[in-house]
Chains A and B, each alone.
Chain A
Amino acid sequence: MNMEHYPILAIISLFLGAFLVALFGRLNKVLRNLIVAAAVTIPLCLMIALIAPVMIGGQVIGYWMGNWAPVGPWAIGIGLEVDALSLFFGLVVTIAVFVSGLYSFTYMNRDDSLENYYTLFLMLSGSLLGLVLTGDLFNIFVMIEIMTMTAVALTAFRVDYEGALEGALKYMVVGSIGSTSVLVGIAMLYSQLHTLNMAQIAAALPDHQNLVTVGAFAFLFLGFSTKAFLFPFHPLAADAHAVAPASISLMISGVITKCGVYGIIRLAYILYQNINEPAVSILITGFGAVSCFICVTMAFNQHDFKRLLAFHSISQVGYVITAVGLGTALGLSAGLYHAMNHTLFKGLLFLCAGAVQYATGSLDLGRLGGLAKKMPKTCALFLIGAASISGLPPFNGFFSKWMIYQASFEKGLDTGNFFYIVVCVVCLLSSVLTLASFVKVAQSVFFGQLQPQFENTKEVPLTMRIPMWILAVLCILTGVLPWEVLQKLVGPAAAAALNAAGYIQGMLGSGAAAGAGAQAAFSMEIGFWGPVSWLCLLLIVSCAVCLVAVLGTAEQKSPEERHEMDRRAGRTAAFTRDGFADAGRILKPAEKEGHYRNPVLSGTTLTFTGEKDPKYENFFSGEESEYSQVGGGDLFWGFKTNWRHYFQGMRRWHSGVINDYTRYGIVALAFVLLYACLFL
């Protein structure tokens, strides 16, 4: 079976899995899990198998459903088109689906009616993969519909969870605005070009430019940015992600947003090929930068772990859209690379949030704290995710963010337009604010002091940690080997997006024509940064430091050994001052008992009855160390007071009322339409 059929097989295996689970899911648990496992791993293998021909070989697979080959220039049937760009997003989708499926086996085992859950889950995955691989515009709309409806249903899966229904309702209402605007856009395009096949549209569009196609661009752009939860639509993302189960919020924030990004790239780079016009580039970059900044500042004040992560995922998508909107080769590859990184580290962070919820039952930053001692492995995984998202060097967030800054700064210099410099500074600033909010999460969830009620939390089972480790290893790999990832994955995808002719020729040609697909000729003059050689530099220096440390300091004995040494050497406490007696007896500095607690002499230190040895207790300026956790709301006091007017405005603006959000959506639609008519 040659690899022509791999794309359709991948999509069908997911939908078939959904259908089988619906049939046999209720019968027994093991069969259901087996079906889901199979349905989840097959597309991943198929996508990996496709890497060689499509990515490296540069071949574009055109696959006509039902063998309805095009008649002359007119494409009749529905075609699947898989070029490097589609495969790149296909890989991202299948990895996320595989990890999320594995995670939900144990994460959801406390819920009931799981066959419904898995049916919806597989439908969602199938629609995502379908959207990414299809070559037909209307097919994209169909997949968007399935995706939105299943995501809404899954968001409200835990009906009793506080705020679940409300989040799902909001997501459905505003999501449907996006879907309808996509539909209107497709209708306007169809009215002009009488075809739905994307390759044919791309071929026919340059000489059919008129007001209607410009309006179609505006509608389609807004529809896709709703799916990506960009600027005016980001509040509903927070409501939807925060209440969905962790594996589903991974899918929403990690993959559904990426399909919105894929739609915008297809729209601007392949269909209309107008990304190089300043108006379009400023529109897209503007949306990206604004949503990046607003979502980071909104995430700053959150008290709920998952709401904070939701706002961060929108700000990272803002980064991706900013990079994509630049239009240069460097910008596009930076955006794609950051999109992949975002799915990896955001997935890891959402799964950590799920693990914390699974173990402690609460996600409130104000109440959690000190979990590092109880859940050490989850804490380590969280630190890898947090380091990646805030862009610390050996991890993957760093390289893609660095490319974005370089691309936006150079775009600003080439075009002489100061807008891109402002965008570059805003991105750099958002990176620091991201780091700040993840320091806040680290301090208020994992470090700091453990609340008495979480005393007996245990580590999450291994089966939940395996998917997290998969994502963590991927985060580190893509961070440490950036150049290989650029050559193998991101470069071909960017090249495919940039040469629309290859796409058209691939599809309408003989169906399997060897498209151009040459390696992108863009020059990657990023400053040289070899993480591998930097890591061995670190190794050498740390050996030197450890050598000195071991030689230099006196050996530290643990308190028990020291106690034992004292006892053996007969050096024990017998205070000789007249007010004392031998060890163990309660000292009576003042005759009256009264409220005063007498210190007891134990071993060599004076302590109080019922109190632990103060030497190893935290320093509370002399007081007995009781629970006083500094975390959650009372961090970053200086920054918040200076920006209090901004934050109050934000609170008023994010009212949480559906009609406000729909009003923002309509205003945004009007603005984009007006903007398109005026400038495009």
Chain B
Amino acid sequence: MQILIQLFHILVFPGLLFDVAMGVLLMGLNNKLVARMQNRVGPPILQPWYDFLKCCGKETIIPARAKRAVFLGSPYLGFVLLISVSMFIPFAGFIPVTMGSDLVVILYLLTFVSVCEILGAASSGSPFAGVGLSREMVAMISYELPFVLVILTVARAVGADQPSGAVFSLEGILAYQEMNGPLLFSPAAIPAAIAMLFVIPCETGMHPFDIAEAETEICEGMLAEYSGTPLAMYRLTHMVKVYTMSSLFVAMFLGNRFTGIVPVDILIGILLCIAVMFISAALPHAVCARLKVEQVFHFYWTVVTGFALAGLLLVWAGV
């Protein structure tokens, strides 16, 4: 019986189906909000779902030069890895996999998901994909530094009184927030939260920072040679990553169990995810133009790292 509940948790509620549904919802809302901010009607909320279905229906062309196994395999591997990441992140009190979710493990799994996309691009053998994957790598280098600093800050802020000095596991962080309120309200964590809000658009490749899939400059960059179901899987990974990152932010800074009543918690959790997505992804998308490669790198290693370092120093000083 326990297995069935476990399977339900893995495959349906906080697992596969819920992630996909939330990913589609968040991406649809994101497009709608961006459109409304640009004073136009914007696509229906379920548009990402129609895009996914349409891509599934299309023919899959495998270029002669591509390495077939890696070309077809890496989209699915990337998606499955991302679902396993989103299962580490507790949502509204539900921890789908009782395996102890650790921030460093999540950091490295997210890196693995981007590596899968890079492998797919490399295996397609197209020069556009080559440029795309080099830009994706530069983007990864640029957002990894602030992301690491934020993780260290949160671990220190939560674990100050613990014997080991730092709590990296998300359950510990949530337990701490249950006792003394969301982390966001303590002054030390505000710069770290701002830094994290900047990291989310670059990690998920949203508009101002999507130097890897710039459709105008390098013809869809990494996905230049993809069509059909592999392309659908990559776009689905892109959508679910938006959900994973915003639910990670909610788990890290806003806590999980708000009222104790499960359905209400889930609703609040969803609304918070939407709010985080709006601030971090929709606003910059509607307002800014795409940055150049070294502008992204320069911006992340000076402004965003400045916020993250300020957070770390504040926490270090024991505020």
Give A contacts to B, CB under 8 Å.
370, 372-373, 376, 379, 383, 387, 390-393, 398, 402, 405-406, 409-410, 413-414, 418, 421, 424-425, 428-429, 432-433, 435-436, 439-440, 442-443, 446-450, 525, 527-530, 533-534, 537-538, 540-542, 544-546, 549, 552-554, 556, 612, 615-621, 625, 628-631, 634-639, 641-642
Main secondary structure of the interface of B (DSSP, over half): helix
Contact A556 B76 (CB under 8 A): no
- Interchain nearest-CB distance for B195 vs A (Å): 13
A553 to B65, CA, bound (A): 24
Contact A631 B145 (CB under 8 A): no
Chain B residues with CB under 8 Å of A641's CB are 294
**Max chain B Cβ within 10 angstroms of own Cβ: one of A433, A612, A637:** A637
Give the top 5 A-B pairs by smallest Cβ distance, nearest first. Answer: A630-B130, A638-B293, A413-B165, A528-B100, A527-B102
> B198: CB under 8 A from chain A?
no
Main secondary structure of the interface of A (DSSP, over half): helix
11 A-B residue pairs with Cβ-Cβ distance under 8 Å, sorted by A, are A372-B67, A387-B115, A392-B111, A409-B166, A447-B67, A525-B164, A537-B87, A553-B60, A616-B63, A637-B138, A639-B138
Chain A residues with CB under 8 Å of B99's CB are 528-530, 533-534, 537
Contact B80 A615 (CB under 8 A): no
The contact of B76 among A549, A619, A630, by CB within 8 Å, is A549
Contact B102 A529 (CB under 8 A): yes
A630 to B65, CA, bound (A): 14
Q: Given A619-B219, A641-B294, do A545 and B100 touch, yes or no (CB 8 Å)?
A: no
Chain B residues numbered 128-174 whose CB sits less than 8 Å from any CB in chain A? 128, 130-131, 133-135, 137-138, 140-142, 144-145, 148-149, 152, 155-156, 164-166, 168-169
Q: Given A544-B11, A553-B228, A556-B59, do A638 and B64 touch, yes or no (CB 8 Å)?
A: no
**Max chain B Cβ within 10 angstroms of own Cβ: one of A435, A527, A615:** A527
Chain B residues with CB under 8 Å of A556's CB are 59-60, 228
Contact B104 A527 (CB under 8 A): yes
Chain B residues with CB under 8 Å of A544's CB are 11, 16
- Interchain nearest-CB distance for A444 vs B (Å): 9
Contact A638 B294 (CB under 8 A): yes
Chain B residues with CB under 8 Å of A433's CB are 141
A359 to B10, CA, bound (A): 46
Chain B residues with CB under 8 Å of A554's CB are 57
- Interchain nearest-CB distance for B214 vs A (Å): 12
In addition to A402-B108, A538-B84, 4 A-B residue pairs with Cβ atoms within 8 Å of each other are A393-B109, A398-B108, A410-B164, A436-B140
Chain B residues with CB under 8 Å of A439's CB are 115, 118, 122, 133, 137
> B31: CB under 8 A from chain A?
no
Contact A636 B138 (CB under 8 A): yes
Chain B residues with CB under 8 Å of A637's CB are 134, 138, 293-294
A618 to B219, CA, bound (A): 12
Contact B111 A413 (CB under 8 A): no
Kindly report which residue of chain A lies nearest to residue B211, judged by CB atoms.
A638
> B47: CB under 8 A from chain A?
no
Q: Given A529-B100, A546-B76, do A391 and B108 touch, yes or no (CB 8 Å)?
A: yes
> B7: CB under 8 A from chain A?
yes
Contact A392 B112 (CB under 8 A): yes
- Interchain nearest-CB distance for B81 vs A (Å): 7
Contact A638 B316 (CB under 8 A): no
> B28: CB under 8 A from chain A?
no
> B49: CB under 8 A from chain A?
no
Q: Given A448-B130, A544-B16, A546-B76, do A432 and B144 touch, yes or no (CB 8 Å)?
A: yes
A36 to B42, CA, bound (A): 73
> B48: CB under 8 A from chain A?
no
Q: Given A410-B166, A429-B148, A638-B293, do A537 and B141 touch, yes or no (CB 8 Å)?
A: no
A364 to B123, CA, bound (A): 20
> B37: CB under 8 A from chain A?
no
- Interchain nearest-CB distance for B53 vs A (Å): 8
- Interchain nearest-CB distance for B119 vs A (Å): 7
> B105: CB under 8 A from chain A?
yes
A418 to B165, CA, bound (A): 14
Chain A residues with CB under 8 Å of B126's CB are 618-619
A387 to B229, CA, bound (A): 26
- Interchain nearest-CB distance for A97 vs B (Å): 32
A544 to B123, CA, bound (A): 25
A538 to B76, CA, bound (A): 11
Contact B149 A425 (CB under 8 A): yes
- Interchain nearest-CB distance for A541 vs B (Å): 5
- Interchain nearest-CB distance for A472 vs B (Å): 17
Contact A534 B67 (CB under 8 A): no
- Interchain nearest-CB distance for B134 vs A (Å): 4
Chain B residues numbered 220-254 whose CB sits less than 8 Å from any CB in chain A? 224-225, 228-229, 233
Kindly report which residue of chain B lies nearest to residue A554, judged by CB atoms.
B57
> B277: CB under 8 A from chain A?
no
Kindly report which residue of chain A lies nearest to residue B170, judged by CB atoms.
A527
The contact of A405 among B11, B59, B104, B165, by CB within 8 Å, is B104
The contact of A428 among B97, B144, B229, by CB within 8 Å, is B144
- Interchain nearest-CB distance for B248 vs A (Å): 16
> B43: CB under 8 A from chain A?
no
Kindly report which residue of chain A lies nearest to residue B129, judged by CB atoms.
A630
Chain A residues with CB under 8 Å of B124's CB are 618
A429 to B118, CA, bound (A): 19
Kindly report which residue of chain A lies nearest to residue B236, judged by CB atoms.
A545
Kindly report which residue of chain B lies nearest to residue A450, judged by CB atoms.
B65
- Interchain nearest-CB distance for B117 vs A (Å): 11
Kindly report which residue of chain A lies nearest to residue B112, judged by CB atoms.
A392
**Max chain B Cβ within 10 angstroms of own Cβ: one of A370, A393, A433, A617:** A393
> B296: CB under 8 A from chain A?
yes
Contact B111 A435 (CB under 8 A): yes
> B91: CB under 8 A from chain A?
no
Q: Given A410-B165, A545-B79, A630-B127, do A642 and B294 touch, yes or no (CB 8 Å)?
A: yes
Chain B residues with CB under 8 Å of A402's CB are 104-105, 108
Write the B305-319 contact mask toward A (1 if CB under 8 angstroms, else 0). Answer: 000000010001000
Chain A residues with CB under 8 Å of B224's CB are 619
Q: Given A443-B133, A553-B56, do A449 and B145 touch, yes or no (CB 8 Å)?
A: no
- Interchain nearest-CB distance for A644 vs B (Å): 10
- Interchain nearest-CB distance for A630 vs B (Å): 3
A530 to B225, CA, bound (A): 37
Contact A534 B111 (CB under 8 A): no
